[in-house]
Structure 1
Amino acid sequence: MDSVTSASGRQLGLRSGFASAFFAAFMLGAPEPARAEIGSEETHIDSLPPQVEVREMEDGEFPFELRKVADKLESPWAMAFLPDGRILVTERPGRLRVIEGDELLPLAITGVPTVLSGSHSGLLDVLVDPDFSKNRRLFLSYMHGTPEAGTIRISSAVLDGMNLVDKQVIFESRPAANGLDQIGGRLAFGPDKALYLTIGDRFQKERAQNLLDDGGKIIRINVDGSIPEDNPFVGRSDVLPEIYSYGHRNPQGLIGNVGDGQLWSIEQGPKGGDELNLITGGSNYGWPVVTYGVNYDGSVISELTSAPGMVDPIYVWVPSVAPASLVSYYGNVMPDDWRGDFLVGTLAGECLIRLRMDSGKVVKEERYLHHKIGRIRDVAVAPDGYIYLMTDSSEASIYRIEPLTDQVAKVKTEP
């Protein structure tokens, strides 16, 4: 299919030493329209890299059913699982909800920080501390401030019954910026146990290459908010010390539990050019100097798809599917050959994407549940191996994927 391409074989003919000059000229350009999380059927790229096999799976090839476990959620953004089996769900207006025994509890958790809500902004991710059974600690990402001067914060808090206590703001992006869209917001623990946060460029492209600005970056901090001494730019006066990687547009997925010791991110491109990236410290991922996409009005952002000193994505979608979440699968519910693969929830694509992985490369893409439940905001894998899908709307639902046959179900009963 011509809608998806692998970037591992990307042509180098467009590499150019004038990338820095292009960016300097670009900074004089006008900002793009306030649109995001949409798909596109067009791109300015005439020649795409070698493709992998892409299959849209039919219902008969997917012996599973969707079981609705909650509905009427208002603009939910993320899910997280507690050790006792309860599910935490964030709603962008600023509520932290609980699903217990496949029932959405009527009352929200109290003590959630006040958030700046509107458009893509509000209460975003929730992350459970690996030592939650001992410390009861959660981490929340959310927008703070005003539409004209908003920041993204990380707060830590202790869950005491249905209340958050011992709240501390451990990170706040800088500088404050205008706008409520394209803000990133995904939290993850890396394989190094550090805490990572994705931050979008807020439709201000030049921020992604500005190392004195957190916009368009992935940041890395300790769980107490301090800066790790081995962060790649520590000690430099011309770089914010929390920055781990830069040149990002709108990273919406982040995982560090793949088992390969690596950090992976998924990123929304403009009109075309969504990316899967392998994240390494100090690296520049190119936006907006290089891209496979164009502005929403069709105008060219850059003629470059690769440049010296900038890291190529592992995988690219053209046209866009608007990836909104990323997880790796290591459970026992799905067939054995799913283990180690990546699962991607898509907004414009309205499907669950399975990326078949082999030695850090995408070798095949399969699309499931196309247009069955609408826009998929979040995908999560429960400790028992079941996959949960969250839709994206003002009255959204959460579904669990369940096997139809005993031959497919591989849930282990032993400890």
Structure 2
Amino acid sequence: MKNRMLLITATASSFFAFASCKSDVADNPNPPSTGTTPPSTGTTTTSTSPVETNPPNSTYRPAFTGQTRVAGVRTTISYASTVLTTALTSPWGIASLPDGRLLITQKTGAMRIATSTGQLGAPITGIPTVNPAGQGGLLGVRIDPAFVTNRTVYWVFSESTADGNLTAVAKGLLSQDETRFEGVTVIYRALPAYRGTAHYGGRIVIDPAGNLLVSTGERADNVTRLQAQSLNSGLGKIIRITKDGTPTAGNPLATQAGARPELYTYGHRNPQGLAIHPTTGDLWQSEHGPRGGDELNRIQAGANYGWPTITYGLEYSGSRVGDGIQQREGLEQPVYYWDPVVSPSGMTFYASNRIPEWQNNLFIGSLSGMHIVRLVIENNRVVGEERLLASEGQRFRDITQGTDGALYAITDGGRLYRIDKQ
């Protein structure tokens, strides 16, 4: 397929309506349906009807106004979406190199460098063997802030052991000729291992202090689900470690009896999105719900985010999860949730000034929803939502901002997009 350019007007994808669907590729056999798109008339300060028009799966009520189905917004500046390449194989994570190129993981176990025009380098060798079965594989990736001098890259992958599979974190030095990783070590493993192949989590970011923050899933099955609430388990958590893989000093749960010292937050299902706000420095996270109940959370050290005790989702069968409650004292409420699901994956805040109305907005790749979510956030609340690139019919797996200020997004179908002011 040749590279192509799509000119997208202000609301070319603001009002697509999607059918209820499940959260990830193994759970989502039915593609969403689309509705019609009204003409562009609004501005980002003008509210419209919510972008979701399909009925929710449950009768659960939000805890506060604006927690779900907030008013829609419309981008007013014309912007362009360019497909740079279609030659990737199940890409999962994307990160910007200092020179403007992009480092991309592929679920099957390869990592490749793409230029800003879409030229792909050969697969980089030296990566430990991944288990790509189910939802596993080579997952999130992050470049060391001092990459120019230390050549260090960190990544998350699903590792097979004698006891089962687990979410692991590795680091290595990219060789000067960019053909291989050297000195590769696995610096963290989320224990216990489990023989399932779902809900690995798998995102990684580096906080302003230089620590690694990594999301882990609760591994999906009922036998492991409750470990999201267990402080002696690494499943269903956000963990905070040093660049050598040791627990960061001062982690908020380390003093509790039996708690794993690397834990930062707990009570997560399958968190596939992590991003740090460019002005506040706050960590934000997205995670997949079951049938409904996808969440966006602002992460606070030591907090319990509730899964599976509270949720706005149902079991895939349509029955309640546990006691079917949505609020309990001591358990954090999501800042925002979706029902039906959009399956939120990788995400990034927009810190560029190229499209001023997007500044500090959050952009999230949507899998089953097949669009890019744009959220306007004010005072830690979502005040507007837009759906971008919905006409593409792609499962958007991850998105990042390049050094040129443009957004770059990858899809399960092997595409790399550049999104920028026209």
Alpha-carbon distance, 1:261 to partner = 2.5
Counterpart of 2:94 (choices 79, 82, 101) is 79
State the TM-score, normalizing by the size of structure 2: 0.83
Report the Cα distance in structure 1 between the residues aligned to 2:156 and 2:285, rounded to whole angstroms.
17
TM-score (norm 1): 0.84
The alignment status of 1:116 with 2:131, answered yes or no, reads yes
Aligned to 1:383: 403
Q: Percent identity?
A: 34
Please name the residue that 1:11 is paired with. none
Work out whether 1:43 is the aligned partner of 2:57.
yes
The answer to whether the 8 A contact 2:277-2:360 is kept is: no
Are 1:345 and 2:362 counterparts?
A: no
Q: Deviations over 1:357-409 (max 9, x none)?
A: 1121111111122132411111111011101121113xx110101323xxxxx
Does 1:325 find its partner at 2:342? Answer: no
Report the CA distance between 1:257 and its aligned residue: 4.2
389 and 70 in structure 1: CA distance in 2 versus 1, 3 angstrom threshold? same
| Superposed CA offset, 1:334-372 (max 9, x none) | 2x1211111111011111111111121111111122132
Change in 2 beyond 3 A, CA 1:134/1:107 = same
4+ residue stretches of structure 1 with deviation over 3 A?
36-42, 46-49, 51-54
**Which among 276, 280, 283 is matched to residue 263 of structure 1?**
283
Mapped contact 1:147–1:180 kept (Cα < 8 A)? no
- Whichever residue aligns with residue 348 of structure 1, its letter is S
Say if 1:265 and 1:276, in contact at 8 Å, map to a contact too. yes
Question: Is contact 1:43-1:272 (8 Å) kept?
Answer: yes
Work out the CA distance in 2 between the residues paired with 1:216 and 1:259. Answer: 28
Which residue number in structure 2 is paired with residue 105 of structure 1? 120
Alignment of 1:61-210 (within 5 A): 63-145=78-160, 149-160=164-175, 161=177, 162-204=179-221, 205-210=225-230
Q: How far off is 1:258 after superposition?
A: 2.6
Post-superposition CA distance 1:102-129 (Å, at most 9, x none): 2333511111111111121010011000
**Matched residue SS, 1:343:** strand
RMSD: 2.3
Amino acid at match of 1:165: E
Distance 2:341 2:162 in 1: 27
| Deviation of the 1:147 alpha carbon | 9.7
CA apart distance, 1:168: 1.4
Work out whether residues 219 and 242 of structure 1, in 8 Å CA contact, stay in contact via their aligned partners in 2: yes
Size of the alignment, in residue pairs? 370
Cα 1:37/1:63, change in 2 over 3 Å = farther
Residue correspondence of structure 1 range 2-21 to structure 2 within 5 A: none
| Worse-matched range after superposition: 231-240 or 357-366 | 231-240
Q: Which ranges of structure 2 fall in alignment gaps of 5 or more residues?
A: 1-14, 19-25, 33-53
**CA–CA distance in 2 between the matches of 1:256 and 1:224?**
21
Q: CA deviation at 1:170?
A: 0.9
Secondary structure, in 3 states, of the residue corresponding to 1:402?
strand
**How far apart, in 2, do the equivalents of 1:115 and 1:371 lie?**
33
C-alpha displacement at 1:92, in angstroms?
A: 0.7
| 1:193 Cα deviation from its structure 2 partner | 2.5
Distance in 1, Cα, partners of 2:285 & 2:208? 13
Distance 1:300 1:328 in 2: 34
